[in-house]
Amino acid sequence: MPAHSLPGHLVSSPQLSVRGVIFDMDGLLLNSGALAIEAQMRAGRDLGHNLSRSFCVHMIGLVEGRYASKMRETFGEDFPAEELFALQAQYMKYYLEEGRLRIKQGVLPLLDLLDTRHIPRAIVTSSGWEEARNQLRHVSLIERFDAIVTREDVVHGTPDAETYLVASSRIGVVPELCLVLEDSTSGASSALAAGMRVIVVPDLTELTPEVREEALAIVSDLTVVQDYVARYGR
């Protein structure tokens, strides 16, 4: 497979082999990040709170407990965070029933390549297990992954390294030989803290200068990642 779409430094400089790939879910595998923001804003309005899109985007990647704390810091200690999350989940269920959940560009060809190379892969997500399972089953992806790590599997969510370290352990690949695919600053920071190389495919959030500097590459879609794995996957 040609590697012409790879950034030049990924061709000219030595690269460790890729023995395992870890995917973020919301905004990377699926368009669920945008749907979740829409659902959250609607839930907020139902409860009499006007949550701005920028606020919701800024919270992407935070686990629910940390998100609730941020909401109460911003809107007051009586903010009904748990009620909002329940309403948001109901709206997400409606969106799935309406067929609005989509697999992102480049996902299926990349998974096909990983199958061909017999490279194990995992998903990490700040969603709960039931939500993640339902979404992945809805788009027929759940059977294509060797492990799924949700917020219920860790004590410390992103940007702590724990989520990615658990994922690498579950697929049996040491961190330095894992390639992480992320779309947000919080997730990329988590993977970098775990000692993994990260390619970022930005979705909704702006990346910090630190992530831009430390990421292996920032690319437009997963097609470029397919070229990288074709060259370095083992």
75: exposed, middle or buried (Cβ count in 10 Å: 0-12, 13-18, 19+):
middle
pTM: 0.86
* CATH top class, domain 9-31+102-232: alpha beta
> For the segment 61-72, what is each residue's pLDDT rounded down to a tens digit?
666 667 778 788
Task: Spell out the domain ranges in the chain.
Answer: 9-31+102-232, 33-97
Q: CA dist 52 to 45, 71, 168, Å? A: 10, 12, 35
Range name among 49-63, 73-87, 152-166 with the lowest pLDDT average: 49-63
